[in-house]
Amino acid sequence: GAGVSQSPRYKVAKRGQDVALRCDPISGHVSLFWYQQALGQGPEFLTYFQNEAQLDKSGLPSDRFFAERPEGSVSTLKIQRTQQEDSAVYLCASSLAGAYNEQFFGPGTRLTVL
């Protein structure tokens, strides 16, 4: 079956632009996570959804970051007024049931802010 997919794979934005990153989790997976990964580092947690409910958004670095999963499947991570420090790879993961289950990752979206 299909794995987690993300689009676009690469995004270049000028500073100040808004961007939207999409994640399609594995069908039927309840849990969905967003991570930010800087070069040479492990992923940093951003936010967690269980179905359509956003249960933890404590990792979002500022109020410019917003995530949604309105129907409990596809999720969008939106970054407003992008800044250079937002440049990173944004990873999405899903798991079948609760947060503590095995997570399956998408290929990521590499965001470069000029």
Q: Count of residues binding another protein (CB under 8 A)?
A: 26
- Determine the Cα–Cα distance for residues 105 and 19; give it in Å rounded to an integer: 21
- Determine the Cα–Cα distance for residues 92 and 36; give it in Å rounded to an integer: 9
Of the pair 81, 97, the CB lying nearest another protein is at 97
By CB under 8 A, which span of 13-21, 64-72, 74-82, 92-100 interacts with another protein? Answer: 92-100
The DSSP call for residue 58 is T
Which is it for strands 109-113 and 10-13: parallel, antiparallel or unpaired?
parallel
- Determine the Cα–Cα distance for residues 18 and 50; give it in Å rounded to an integer: 26
User: With binding defined as CB under 8 A, does residue 25 bind another protein?
Assistant: no
By CB under 8 A, which span of 12-20, 63-71, 74-82, 105-113 interacts with another protein? Answer: 105-113
Task: Give the interface with another protein as residue ranges (CB under 8 A).
Answer: 4, 6, 33, 40-45, 48, 55-56, 58-59, 91, 93, 99-100, 102-108, 110
